[in-house]
């Protein structure tokens, strides 16, 4: 990597591919190119064996069974399949779904789409720390509620929702529980049995795997979840997700999960130490706010807002040194403050002036020191420029 490239601290957007993952994938681009659905020859059998092994690895990482894993193109597709597929399959039972204001747009947009078709959606607010109120969830469940969708860990503020408690509430009310675990898999322990999760969306590229591959966990017993396919055209994945499977990506996904699980605790300690060090150094800044719960968050996440500083100017100033994002979906044409930060009750000003740091496996203490120094310097320069007489 050329030395002049900025330090990468945007691991909630995507992560670099681990070289060990690439090594595992390579044979499936070349000699082992078979279609797993080809049952009449060795090329197909080899590909099918690789896919089955990957399925087992991913299933056991969340205490599921291999036949409960459906491969998709990523978490966006898995969320769409879970939400629309359950809504359609349980249409006769009820047409009410519950989700949360801080969800990823890949959950909120399918819900809004269902609303346009006549479904009713309750969007729960969050507390100032980003956690949902469990009593509010309990009260929101109605006789016609079919699904509760609450993300495992937030992609902007890293806040981890109380999954086991949510699962308990849903199970005792007879309502299905879906969780978008795109940010959580490989970062925190996940257990679909202990947490009573019925559907879970996963993706590979947030845990050092390849882009374009993910999965939906679909519970097959106690209860057996019904799902309506959203993609038709073949009998792959028990006809719930048609389309030729992609063995290189699937093998890479499984390798990434295996590696992340093997070093889950040591990596959590390592990234949390880097994150805490950064936070400690930045705390000297006047008007700094931490967004999201202090400890109930992903180890590599830090999200801050700075009063009286233009978020855009700050990001621009930091660009040569560090690759971060504001965590808000902004483009120069239509700038909207982050829906996650406004859901926490942050003012639009503070929501605009935010930075999301996503620290990962390959970051070092030296890099974090450089970043801290650059942030301190840039903020001070911007504030001095503001004090200078205009003109
Ligand atoms: C990245 C992300 C997604 C989208 O996943 P893709 O695999 O890129 O489609 C969905 N939800 C959350 C929480 C994410 O962080």
Q: Which pLDDT score is estimated for 388?
A: 72
In a domain, residue 28? The reply is yes
Tens-level pLDDT at each residue, the chain (391 residues): 456 899 999 999 999 999 999 999 999 999 999 999 999 999 999 999 999 999 999 999 999 999 999 999 999 999 999 999 999 999 999 999 999 999 999 999 999 999 999 999 999 999 999 999 999 999 999 999 999 999 999 999 999 999 999 999 999 999 999 999 999 999 999 999 999 999 999 999 999 999 999 999 999 999 999 999 999 999 999 999 999 999 999 999 999 999 999 999 999 999 999 999 999 999 999 999 999 999 999 999 999 999 989 888 899 999 999 999 987 554 444 468 899 999 999 999 899 889 999 999 999 999 999 999 999 999 999 988 877 765 4
- Looking at the fold, whether 44 and 159 belong to one and the same domain comes out as yes
- Looking at the fold, whether 192 and 91 belong to one and the same domain comes out as yes
Domain stop point among 208, 235, 262: 262
Answer for the pair 253, 54: CB distance below 8 angstroms, yes or no. Answer: yes
Q: Is 203 in the pocket of ligand 1 (CB under 6 A)?
A: yes
In a domain, residue 370? The reply is yes
Residue 52: how many other CB atoms lie within 10 Å: 14
- Looking at the fold, whether 85 and 198 belong to one and the same domain comes out as yes
Q: Is 104 in the pocket of ligand 1 (CB under 6 A)?
A: yes
Q: Which pLDDT score is estimated for 227?
A: 98
- Looking at the fold, whether 252 and 270 belong to one and the same domain comes out as no
Q: Which domain holds residue 208?
A: 19-262
Q: In angstroms, what CA-CA distances link 202 with 54, 126, 214, 308, 385?
A: 14, 23, 5, 38, 45
- Looking at the fold, whether 250 and 302 belong to one and the same domain comes out as no
Q: Is 338 in the pocket of ligand 1 (CB under 6 A)?
A: no
- 330 assigned to active site: yes
- Looking at the fold, whether 96 and 245 belong to one and the same domain comes out as yes
Round to whole Å and give the CA distance between 126 and 139.
14
Is the sign of the CA dihedral 76, 108, 16, 200 positive or negative? negative
Q: Which pLDDT score is estimated for 336?
A: 81
Domain stop point among 262, 284, 310: 262
Scan for tokens 């700075």, then name that residue: 306
- From 157, 180, 252, mutation site for ligand 1 pocket: most ligand atoms within 8 A of C-beta: 180
Helices 42-61 and 247-262 sit at what angle, rounded to 10 degrees?
30
Task: Give exposure, 104-120, as e/b (b: 16+ Cβ within 10 Å).
Answer: bebbbebbeebeeeebe
Domain stop point among 222, 244, 262: 262
């Amino acid at each position: 990597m050329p030395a002049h490239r900025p330090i990468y601290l945007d691991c909630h957007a995507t992560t670099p591919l681990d070289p060990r993952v690439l090594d595992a994938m390579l044979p499936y681009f070349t000699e082992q190119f078979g279609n797993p659905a080809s049952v009449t020859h060795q090329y197909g059998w080899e590909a099918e064996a690789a896919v089955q092994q990957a399925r087992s690895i991913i299933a056991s990482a969340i205490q599921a069974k291999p036949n409960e894993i459906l491969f998709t193109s990523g978490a966006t597709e898995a969320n769409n399949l879970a939400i629309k597929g359950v809504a359609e399959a349980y249409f006769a039972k009820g047409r009410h779904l519950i989700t949360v204001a801080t969800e990823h747009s890949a959950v909120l947009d399918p819900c809004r789409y269902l609303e346009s078709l006549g479904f009713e959606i309750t969007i729960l607010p969050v507390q100032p720390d980003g956690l949902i109120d469990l009593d509010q969830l309990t009260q929101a469940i109605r006789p016609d509620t079919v699904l509760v969708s609450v993300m495992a860990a937030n992609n902007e503020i890293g806040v981890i929702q109380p999954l086991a408690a949510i699962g308990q509430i849903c199970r005792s009310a007879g309502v299905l529980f879906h969780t978008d675990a795109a940010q959580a898999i490989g970062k925190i322990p996940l257990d679909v049995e202990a947490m009573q999760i019925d559907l879970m969306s996963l993706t590979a590229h947030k845990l050092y795997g390849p882009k374009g591959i993910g999965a939906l966990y679909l519970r097959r017993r106690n209860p057996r979840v019904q799902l309506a396919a959203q993609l038709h055209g073949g009998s792959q994945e028990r006809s719930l997700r048609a389309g030729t499977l992609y063995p290189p990506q699937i093998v890479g996904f499984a390798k990434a999960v295996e590696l992340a699980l093997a070093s889950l605790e040591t990596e959590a300690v390592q990234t949390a130490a880097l994150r805490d060090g950064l936070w400690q150094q930045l705390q000297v800044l006047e008007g700094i706010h931490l967004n999201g719960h202090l400890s109930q968050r992903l180890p590599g996440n830090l999200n801050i807002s700075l009063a009286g500083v233009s978020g855009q100017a700050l990001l621009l100033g930091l660009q040569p040194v560090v690759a971060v994002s504001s965590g808000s979906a902004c483009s120069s044409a239509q700038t909207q403050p982050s829906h996650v930060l406004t859901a926490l009750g942050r003012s639009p000003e503070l929501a605009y002036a935010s930075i999301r740091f996503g620290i990962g496996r390959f970051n070092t203490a030296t890099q974090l020191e450089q970043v801290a120094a650059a942030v301190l310097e840039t903020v001070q320069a911007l504030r001095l420029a503001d004090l200078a007489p205009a003109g």
